[in-house]
Amino acid sequence: MIAMFKEYFVKQGIKEVEIEEFIRKSFPLGDYSKTELQRTPLGIKIVIYTNKPGRIIGRGGKNINEMTEALRAKFNLENPQLDVKTINNPNLDAKIVAKQIASALERGYNYKKIGNLTIKRVIQSGAIGVQIVISGKLGGGKGLTSKFTEGYVKHAGHPVEELVDEGFEEAQTRPGKIGVRVKILKEFIDITGEKRSYVQKAHDVLREEAKRAEEEKAAEKAEEKESEKSKGKTTKKKKHAAKKPKAAKPKKEHKEHKAKHKEKPKATKEHKHAKGHGEKKSTKHAAHKHKAAKPKKEKKSAKTPADKKGHGKKQG
């Protein structure tokens, strides 16, 4: 009895693996992640997780209808039902990342460049640790293995089964096959036993610090420019302190002044000359009058010759 149950479950497991491989080969262009088999009263439900559901569904669900018929004919499934679900963050799915690296290697890209770029992209999307291993004929006759790691990754124990997402893919190149294995640690268990992911927050803190440093540098430069401008203004003020500008009259007073100036007749040169000559005369006349006002001295009466003679007689 126990042996019969073992055989049944082993056969079911083998069938699931075969179905997954069949679906993966039938959709080579789509970024395929994984499949799940769910048994329902109506039949078997196959859930496909992918990054590009449009390629798997096809126009009007053509690809899904062909796939259901192929599964029914090959694996003898009763009423198979296909369901497609999208992945929210494909950069944190190890199988999709491995598929992307394999497709890039098949196109002829350098493995070092691809490994470094994918690690940066995965860490920026919020992973705690990443490990990428590329092995095969990478650049010569001999086989090579190159490992790219960043962050913290678990390699043994129970957390590996729970927290580490692992993906494997093969790339068919001219020299030969190249294997790509990817491990991504999304969460870690804290001392309290809770699952936490603080990497995204740490990246945010670093970005904020960088932004603050840039803002402080910009503020310092602006202050230096303002201080230089103020120094230049002070020197200019000192130079122009001796030359005080005339106070500008208000517009209304300026207009009134213009109107008065227009009303007054312009004095000619002759008028000015006459005016000046008249002023001089008036001043001289006033001085003459002032002298005439003084009491006159009595003049001695002029003596006649008769008087002179009489005077001589008397003396005689």
Higher pLDDT, 316 or 3: 3
* Single residue among 158, 183, 201 that ends a domain in this structure: 201
Average pLDDT, the chain: 75
13-60: per-residue pLDDT in tens? 888 888 888 888 777 655 778 888 888 888 788 888 888 888 788 788
Model confidence at 155, pLDDT cuts 50, 70, 90, reads confident
* Single residue among 135, 169, 201 that ends a domain in this structure: 201
pLDDT of residue 160 exceeding 90 = no
* Single residue among 87, 109, 125 that ends a domain in this structure: 87
**Pairing relationship of beta strands 44-50 and 32-39 according to DSSP bridges:** antiparallel
Residue 60 sits in a domain of what CATH number?
A: 3.30.300.20
What is the residue range of 173's domain? 92-201
Same domain membership, residue 52 and residue 10:
yes
Q: Does residue 34 sit in helix, strand or coil?
A: strand
Reading across the β-sheet that carries 32-39, which strands appear in turn? Answer: 32-39, 44-50, 81-86
Q: Is residue 169 part of a domain?
A: yes
Contact 34, 16 (CB under 8 A): no
pLDDT of residue 149 exceeding 90 = yes
- Split into its structural domains, the chain has a count of 2
pLDDT of residue 258 exceeding 60 = no
| Angstrom distance (rounded) from CA 145 to CA 152 | 21
108-121: per-residue pLDDT in tens? 899 999 999 999 99
